[in-house]
Structures are given as structure tokens and as C-alpha cells.
Amino acid sequence: MRRAELLGLRLIDVDFGLNQFKVLGKGGKERLIPFGNDLKEQYNPTSKNAT
């Protein structure tokens, strides 16, 4: 993930069900970036362990 993509990430762009981010990359291309369960458990607002 590029820095600009990370900075432009919104909560609506995160799919915790499929464990993936939807980002708008270079040239306006939309990309799906997977993430692991550790990240999901840490940041999912519906998770019991969310901080």
C-alpha cells in the first residue's frame, strides 16, 4: 500500500467481512488489498478487543 493510499483511506473503504481495503491508486485505478486477522481484531469497530 502506498503512503497516499493509506492517508486517503476511509472507514467505508475497509471491508472487515472480507479482510480487505479498497484504495484508489495511481491513475485512479481501484485496488483491493487484503489484510490479516490480527489487523482485523485490532481495528474492527465491532470487535470486542478493538482499541
pLDDT tens digits, 1-51: 888 888 888 989 999 999 999 998 888 889 999 999 888 888 877 766 655
| Cβ pair 26, 35 in contact under 8 A | no
Entry pTM: 0.70
29: containing domain: 3-43
Q: Where are the beta strands (DSSP E) in 1-51?
A: 14-15, 20-24, 30-34
Q: Measure the CA–CA gap between 26 and 12, rounded to whole angstroms.
A: 20
What pLDDT was estimated at residue 14? 92
**51 domain residue, yes or no:** no
Q: What is the pLDDT of residue 49?
A: 63
Do the domain assignments include residue 48? no
How much is the pLDDT for 43? 81
Q: What is the residue type of 21?
A: F
Name the domain count of the chain. Answer: 1
Determine, yes or no, domain membership for 10: yes
C-alpha cell at 51: 482499541
32 with 17: CB under 8 angstroms? no
